[in-house]
Amino acid sequence: LCAPLHASCIGPHPVGTTQLTWNDPDRGGRAVPVRIDYPALSAGTDTPPRSGCGFPTLAFGHGFTISGEAYGWLRNALVADGLVLLRPLTESGLSPSHLDFGLDLAFAGRAFRADARFANVAGAFR
C-alpha cells in the first residue's frame, strides 16, 4: 500500500529553475551544464525546491539544432504537475556527439540525485 501524499506534494506547483555545472569524473572531468526545473516553494530562479515529496526526475534530450531553452512550455506543464526536469545544455549545433549527449543525460540524473542542494526532492529517475 502507498502512503497518502501530503497535501503540499499535490500540484500545481510554482516552477523553480537553476543552472548548475557538474563535472563527470568518469569522462575526464567533462563539464556538463544542466538547466534544472523543479517544483518549488515559489516561482523563480534559485528559489528553494519543495522537498519531501519524492518527485520523479526526467532528463530531457533536446533536438541538437534546437536550444534546450526552447522548451519552456514543456517545463511549465511537467514541473507544475510535480516532475523535476533536467536539460543538459551540451552538444548543440550541427555536429553534436550523440554518444556524449546520451552520457550527459545519464550523468545529469546521477549528479542531481547526489547533489546535497536537492536532498529529499527527487524520487525515481527516468
pTM > 0.75:
yes
pLDDT at 28: 96
- Give the Cα separation of 108 and 31 in Å (integer): 11
- Joined grid coordinates for residue 31: 563539464
| Mean pLDDT, rounded, for 120-125 | 70
Q: Which of 14-28, 53-67, 70-84 has the lowest mean pLDDT?
A: 53-67
Sheet with 122-125, strands from edge to edge, namely: 44-45, 15-24, 30-39, 84-88, 55-59, 122-125
